[in-house]
Chains A and B, each alone.
Chain A
Amino acid sequence: MSSLTTLEPPLPQGEMPPQPERHRVAGGLLDPRQMLTSLPAAARKLDPRVMVRNPVMFVVEVGSVLTTLEAVRTPSVFAWVITAWLWLTVLFANLSEAVAEGRGKAQAETLRRTRTDTVARRLADWRPGAGDLREEEVPASGLRLGDHVVVQAGQIIPGDGDVVEGVASVDESAITGESAPVIRESGGDRSAVTGGTKVLSDRIVVRITSKPGETFIDRMIALVEGAARQRTPNEIALNILLASLTIVFLLAVVTLQPFAIYAGAEQSIVILVALVVALIPTTIGALLSAIGIAGMDRLVQRNVLAMSGRAVEAAGDVTTLLLDKTGTITLGNRQAAEFLPVEGVAVARLADAAQLSSLADETPEGRSIVVLAKERYGLRARAEGELGHAEFVPFTAQTRMSGVDLAEDGRHRLLRKGAATAVMQWIREHGGHPTAEVGPMVDAIASSGGTPLVVGEVVEGAAGGATASVLGVINLKDVVKAGMRERFDELRRMGIRTVMITGDNPMTAKAIADEAGVDDFLAEATPEDKMALIKKEQAGGKLVAMTGDGTNDAPALAQADVGVAMNTGTSAAKEAGNMVDLDSNPTKLIEIVEIGKQLLITRGALTTFSIANDVAKYFAIIPAMFAGVYPGLRHLNIMGLHSPTSAITSAIVFNALIIVALIPLALRGVRYKPSSAAKLLSRNIWVYGLGGLLLPFVGIKLIDLVVQFIPGLK
């Protein structure tokens, strides 16, 4: 993080990953082939021991068995048609789950291929600085916690761990899909390596931090396959509601038989089962687990690994987002924003001097000065040869300046640019004196949140004697990423408060916070401050999400309700968080929140839809059952269905087909546009509540138009 008055060498930082496309619909459309290939898996799930975990669909399966027996005992076209469609209903439910799981399986396969049986070179008794250690070859699966292994160029890292010695470039494409190699080095926040990734250059010693079978890749495989899937709190609560609705409808139908017998219209088992299946919330019951799996999958497709479904749900509940300033809100580095000349100096001259003195400055700040001069004043960056005799002075952390010494017409022209104190000191050493206006200019920039860099010039005449003067000041500013203000506005509409965390002083922090439009900021933040802030928010009942990568972030990551660790971070951070972002893009936190919300909305919307569907089904089935004895009930047949048998069949067919029709929606998630709760609710009630009420009237009628031609159905 930059500080106010010194220009420090930038950290060796990779390029910021490109901003992910907004609202990228993950998963895309459902491939019909995927349905076919998932069929065997769906059929295997018909095992009652598996089905019983889903109470709603288990009831349908039991019903299917009953109607099958009944159809065998007293065969009729109607009984067999209903039986077939009941079995299809169960199969479709399993299919949705199988398709959702199938997507993860393909991904797991690729991962598994990287987990070959690596041979590890274990070092006995490694200590820092020790040379000539005994090496032994062991299979990667035989490594224990705390073992040290050496890995050289071309070898696969045998397990998760931290680099304790050396620097190497590592190809992590196996897990991130990113082909550019990354640097891993001992110490600091870039020491974590992942088992299964490949060292491309150099040699490192790695201390193993995971047990065999519990490595990052193992966990990833389990996650994407859905093997480690546990029901989330909301899913459990919803299941309870669905189970109780199922019981209510079971009771309503079971007790209907004595009423029907009294009315002189005893009903067959087939019809009673059909009524139960039509009423119980099969649509949501069938799709519930697919929705959960697909939610995790959507995260995986965005290269985020959630360690549990619970974390994804918690993301939807988040009310406070803690965002690190650097890399999340602002671009990683400060950039030159303007040139401010002192009186009597043309701005073009200042820009020229600034550019020349920055040519040898390879830091991003230095480069940004060159670029600004070029863009704003048309000054082309000149190569070394063009300047005649020029001696470049590169930037160092000691001098805190960079510059160039030019020999022009026998005169020496020395240009320096750097931290204000350093350059002013340099001017004084050359007998110059910065004018009185420089001090206030520097202070003004500092107080507005920028970093002032002073440009100085010393001209040494051929006859000796020199004039030294300050030409002006460069304002280096944090550049807020494009579109951040809009995103924070969106978050505010969703009821989420954003807090910017920065090591800057309060003045600088406030300036950037205002520019970015965050709700609050925490300046001069230490890890302890961060922790205290999280605890304070949580004590008020809020749920906090944050990102982090350093070891000192680990306690806060663990304390936060949603802690997203960057994949480039230390293994301590990755252990502490409940999600890992493989792209190490902190801005993704916002998307994670949206995915969490979308997951819950999809469940709620389909539950509403499922229950609303029942109204139309009653209007189809009840007159079919009883209009014979109570002709008045014919008025309830408002769809004008052809016959009692065709009416019941149509309701059941609709009930089965709607599951298939909604599989893509369950996998993709319902459309989510960030807005206030009241607006979201209105939209979803209209679409899924009212839609769920009306759609089946149309659907059942259309199916009836076809079904009535089945020979022998009457």
Chain B
Amino acid sequence: MNDTLAGWLQIIALLGVLALSYRPLGDYMARVLTSPRHLRVERVLYRLGGVDGDADQRWPVYLRSLLAFSLLSVLFLYGLQRLQNHLLLAIGMKAVSPGVAFNTAASFVTNTNWQSYSGESTMGHLVQMAGLAVQNFVSAAVGIAVVAALIRGFTRRHTDRVGNFWVDLTRIVLRVLLPIAFIFAIVLVAGGAVQNFHGVQSISTILGDHQSLTGGPVASQEAIKELGTNGGGFYNANSAHPFENPNAFTNFVEIYLLLVIAVSLPRTFGTMVGDRRQGYAIIAVMGLIWAASVAVITVNELHSVHSAAGHAAGGMLEGKEQRFGVWSSALFATSTTLTSTGAVNSFHDSFSPLGGGMTIFNMMLGEIAPGGTGSGLYGILILAVIAVFVAGLMVGRTPEYLGKKLGGREMKFASLYILTTPAVVLVGAGLAMALPGERAGMLNSGPHGFSEVLYAFTSAANNNGSAFAGLSVNTNWYNTALGLAMLIGRFLPMVFVLALAGSLARQQPVPATAGTLPTHRPQFVGLLTAVIVIVVGLTYFPALALGPLAEGLH
């Protein structure tokens, strides 16, 4: 089978399994988020935590619960890393330095999973399992909880309650993430991923060199790493590492896992708002953008591999694994940057300028196609609010989305949301480029070097976590600046989303008439796609022009 056929088959198979998952998983999550019944184990947990599982919260309370939980998580994770040498299963690792510990804590709590360290030489098994893996679950659940609150804003009326954060968090972890992650951890083990408690093992290679190999509970972490769109690898090489991602089969499973929740959430949305067509419209926009991105990256990578320069380099796939080839690498790269995963099975720094540029643009879109668990859906819903506002004016009515009017208050929160991430990216990258010391961290000169810096801040502020590589980010400045970018890029938008949810929930819905802008038709799908691409494109065009475009256009 040639590469092209295999590549196409892989894409078709992926779309097939995702389509099969859309309805059952989406509807299941809707049930989880709306059911009035608690499981026994949940009731025990609520009693332990002193939570009334039947009481809904107003949005500020929901937000406070979320922030308090996240702050505690950051502190716990920071402490765990700093003290790991005194604890169990350290497998000889030293205490993590303050800069890295802060950066890593911020990174895993924000679902970014940016790693300025090498997992196998920094983190012991306890930190990996009790710290990082736990955050892989709960940070993903936090994202879904926020979008659940937003959807309730659309469905509820005359109320100031948007749900109960603790209930949402517990249910998503226990009923959604744990079972799926458990099953797929076994699948990955079956596929050849490592799952043990070994320490560092020294091995002699055929050539007589010594190599240190670290074992560990890899497969179990790998499953939630992808499922929760986390992306923080057990090993530095992430999903390019054969212990994490041994072969084409596990590669396929990992791509499926990192997409499946975000792809199914529009169904959850459609089901919860009582109009499944709304969900289809959203998934259509996500699908269009995803498909276009896959096409751009695949074409560019194929072109560069088959170019004269590529052949001169011995037909080498620099930065790509021979196991996966161009097609799987491009598919993985698109999916990981369009979700907030950031796991990589190839190195984006070595992509062609335009292919690598596309991975940056994917993240700049706000990771909404399909996006991170929860964050992708609330991100695209906010953009839908903006699109509905402009389009709604054009049909001569006060704009309304799903029956809720978009007035000054709603537009304030939506505007602040779309303002936050670009501000963090541009200011962060601007500062890094203005400070001579930080600029020196670039591996390459010229536009490619700039792309490395731009990529880092785009990845951090959008909570992606993938790295272009090439940039030396393990400095105090980068650890701190990127850590802050992750925290601001994660929690400030959540504040605005929850505030919007509160403001929507209070409203009396307006009945739909022929004069109402329909938001389920192809017309709206096209409009929303155009709004997303144009608004994001306009924001970042100058920066992209000086990076990937300057490098890629000849």
Query: Which A residues contact B (CB, under 8 angstroms)?
Result: 233-234, 236-238, 240-241, 243-244, 247-249, 251-263, 275, 279, 313, 316-317, 319, 492-497, 539-543, 596-598, 600-601, 603-605, 607-608, 611-612, 614-615, 618, 622, 626, 629-630, 632-633, 635-636, 672, 676-678, 680-682, 684-685, 688-689
Q: Say which residue of B393, B422, B433 sits within 8 Å of A603 (CB atoms).
A: B393
Distance A608 CA – B535 CA, assembled complex (angstroms): 11
Q: A237-B408, A248-B419, A635-B553 are in contact. Are A496 and B513 (CB under 8 A)?
A: yes
Determine if A240 and B422 form an interchain contact, defined as CB atoms under 8 angstroms apart. no
Residues A247 and B511 in contact, CB atoms below 8 Å apart: no
Expressed in whole angstroms, the Cα–Cα distance for A677 and B393 within the complex equals 10
Minimal beta-carbon separation of B495 from chain A (angstroms): 15
In the docked arrangement, what's the CA distance between A252 and B422, Å?
A: 8
Q: Kindly identify, within residues 24 to 39 of chain B, every residue whose CB is under 8 Å from any CB belonging to chain A.
A: none
B119 on interface, CB distance cutoff 8 Å? no
Decide: B396 and A597 in contact? CB cutoff 8 A.
Answer: yes
Contact across chains for A244 and B419 when beta carbons are under 8 A apart: yes
The 5 sampled A-B contact pairs (Cβ below 8 Å) are A258-B430, A260-B546, A494-B515, A680-B395, A681-B395
- Given A633-B553, A677-B515, answer yes or no on A248-B398 (Cβ-Cβ < 8 Å): no
Q: Which residue of A lies closest to B454 (CB)?
A: A259
Q: Which of B389, B396, B450, B517 has the most CB of A within 10 A?
A: B396
- Whether B518 is near chain A, meaning CB under 8 Å from some CB there, is yes
Contact call A233/B408, Cβ cutoff below 8 A: yes
When distances are taken between beta carbons in the complex, the residues of chain B under 8 Å from A636 are: 545, 549, 553
B552 pairs with A681, CB closer than 8 A: no
Across the interface, do A262 and B538 meet the contact criterion of CB distance under 8 Å?
A: no
Q: Which of chain B's residues has its CB closest to A623's CB?
A: B545
| B386 with A241: CB separation less than 8 A | yes
Once the chains are docked, how many angstroms separate the CA of A432 from the CA of B454? Answer: 105
Contacts of B408 in A (CB 8 A): 233, 236-237, 240
Measured between beta carbons, the chain B residues less than 8 angstroms from A263 are 447, 450, 546, 550
Please indicate which of the listed interface residues A241, A542, A601 has the most CB atoms of chain B within 10 Å of its own CB.
A241
Chain B residues near A279 (CB-CB < 8 A): 538
Contact A600 B398 (CB under 8 A): yes
Tell me the nearest residue of chain A to B552, going by C-beta: A632
Shortest C-beta distance, B54 to chain A (Å), equals 29
Known contacts A251-B423, A678-B518, A681-B523; 5 further A-B pairs (Cβ under 8 A): A240-B408, A252-B422, A492-B514, A600-B393, A614-B538
* B549 partner residues in chain A, CB cutoff 8 A: 632-633, 636
Which of A244, A604, A685 is close to B393, meaning CB atoms less than 8 Å apart? Answer: A604
| Stretch from B291-299, B410-418, B461-469 that touches the partner | B410-418
Contact across chains for B397 and A316 when beta carbons are under 8 A apart: yes
Q: Is B312 an interface residue (CB 8 A)?
A: no
Number of A-B contacts (CB under 8 A): 212
CA distance A629 to B446 in the complex (A): 10
A282 to chain B, nearest CB (A): 14
B517 contact set on A, CB distance < 8 A = 677-678, 681
Task: Assess whether B403 is interfacial by the CB under 8 Å rule.
Answer: yes
CB of B94 within 8 Å of the partner chain: no
Q: Is B391's beta carbon under 8 Å from chain A?
A: yes
State whether A684 touches B508 (Cβ < 8 A): no
Q: How far is the CB of B503 from chain A (nearest CB, A)?
A: 12
- How far, in angstroms, from A615 to B419 measured CA to CA in the complex? 19
- Min CB distance B313 to A, Å, is 21
From B407, B521, B554, A678 is in contact (CB under 8 Å) with B521
Q: Does B509 reach chain A (CB closer than 8 Å)? A: yes
Taking a contact as CB atoms under 8 Å apart, the answer to whether B514 and A494 are in contact is yes
Q: Does B260 contact A (CB under 8 A)?
A: no
**B435-468 interface bits toward A, Cβ cutoff 8 Å, 1 = contact, 0 = none:** 0000100000001001000000000000000000
Instruction: Tell me if B398 and A233 are in contact (CB < 8 A).
Output: yes
What is the CA–CA distance of A494 and B516 in the complex, to the nearest angstrom?
A: 9
Partner of B433, one of A241, A259, A605, A633: A259
CB–CB A495/B430 < 8 A: no
| Interface contact B542-A604, CB-CB below 8 Å | no
Which residue on A lies nearest to B518, using beta carbons? A678
Would you call the interface of chain A mostly helix, strand, loop, or mixed? helix
* Chain B stretch 374-391: residues in CB contact (< 8 A) with chain A: 386, 389-391
A258-B430, A622-B545 known; A237-B411 Cβ under 8 A: yes
Q: Quick one: which of B394, B396, B509 contacts A608, CB cutoff 8 A?
A: B394
Collect the chain B residues with CB atoms within 8 Å of residue A635's CB: 553
Report which residue of B407, B414, B515, B539 has the largest number of chain A beta carbons within 10 angstroms of its beta carbon: B515
Query: Among A258, A543, A607, A672, which residue has its beta carbon within 8 angstroms of that of B390?
Result: A607
Q: Could you say which residues of chain A place their CB within 8 Å of the CB of B46? A: none
Q: Is B498 an interface residue (CB 8 A)?
A: no
| B414 CB contacts on chain A under 8 angstroms | 241
Asked whether A256 and B393 contact (CB < 8 A) given A251-B426, A632-B549, the answer is: no
Interface of B is mostly: helix
CA distance A633 to B546 in the complex (A): 9
Q: Is B95 engaged at the interface, CB distance under 8 Å to the other chain? A: no
**A251 CA / B426 CA spacing, docked (Å):** 7
Minimal Cβ-Cβ distance residue in B for A689? B530
A600 CA / B434 CA spacing, docked (Å): 44
In contact, B554 and A495 (Cβ under 8 angstroms): no
B531-554 CB mask vs A (1 if < 8 Å, else 0) is: 000110111111101100111111
B527 within 8 A of A: yes
A316 lies within 8 A of B396 (CB): yes
| Distance in angstroms between the alpha carbons of A279 and B551 in the assembled complex | 24
Contact A630 B447 (CB under 8 A): yes
B406 within 8 A of A: yes
Asked if A252 contacts B543 (CB within 8 A), the reply is yes
Within 8 A of A (CB), among B479-510: 508-510
Min distance, Cβ A367 to any Cβ of chain B, angstroms: 41
Residues of A close to B181: CB separation below 8 A: none
| Contact status B550-A678, CB under 8 Å | no
* Cβ of B427 under 8 Å from chain A: yes
Chain A residue numbers with a CB within 8 Å of B403 are 541
User: B429 on the interface (CB 8 Å rule)?
Assistant: yes
User: Are the C-beta atoms of A255 and B538 separated by less than 8 Å?
Assistant: no
Q: Which 6 A-B pairs have the closest CB atoms?
A: A604-B393, A495-B515, A597-B396, A495-B513, A255-B430, A632-B553
In Å, the complex CA distance between A462 and B551 comes to 119
- Chain B nearest CB from A541 CB (Å) reads 4
List the B residue with the shortest CB-CB distance to A247. B419
User: Chain A residues near B397 (CB, 8 Å)?
Assistant: 316-317, 597, 600, 677
A599 to chain B, nearest CB (A): 8
Contact (Cβ within 8 A) B534 A611: yes
Residues from chain A with a CB closer than 8 A to the CB of B394 are 601, 604-605, 608, 680-681, 684-685, 688
Report if A622-B542 is in contact (Cβ < 8 Å); known contacts: A252-B426, A604-B392, A677-B514: yes
Asked if A541 and B509 sit within 8 Å, CB to CB, the answer is: yes
From A255, A275, A540, A626, B427 is in contact (CB under 8 Å) with: A255
Quick check: B430 and A630 within 8 Å, CB to CB? no
How distant is the Cα of A256 from the Cα of B429 in the complex, in angstroms?
10
Q: Which residue of A lies closest to B543 (CB)?
A: A259
Distance in Å: Cβ of A273 to nearest Cβ of chain B: 14
Which residue of chain A lies nearest to B410 when distances are taken between CB atoms in the complex? A237
B528 CB to nearest A CB, Å:
12
A237-B410, A240-B411, A495-B516 known; A596 vs B511 contact (CB < 8 Å) = no
CA distance A661 to B419 in the complex (A): 31
Residue of B nearest to A262 (CB): B433
B512 nearest CB neighbor, chain A only: A495
- Across the interface, B538 reaches (CB within 8 A) one of A249, A493, A676, namely A249
Minimal beta-carbon separation of A609 from chain B (angstroms): 10
Contacts of A494 in B (CB 8 A): 514-515
Residues of chain A within 8 A of B389, CB atoms compared: 237-238, 241
Q: Look across to chain A and name the residue whose beta carbon is closest to the beta carbon of B515.
A: A495
B51 to chain A, nearest CB (A): 34
B459 vs chain A, min Cβ distance (A): 17
CA distance A238 to B406 in the complex (A): 10
Known contacts A262-B439, A636-B545; decide if A541 and B406 are in contact (CB<8 Å). no
Which of chain B's residues have a CB closer than 8 A to the CB of A256? Answer: 542-543, 546
B534 contacts A630, CB within 8 Å? no
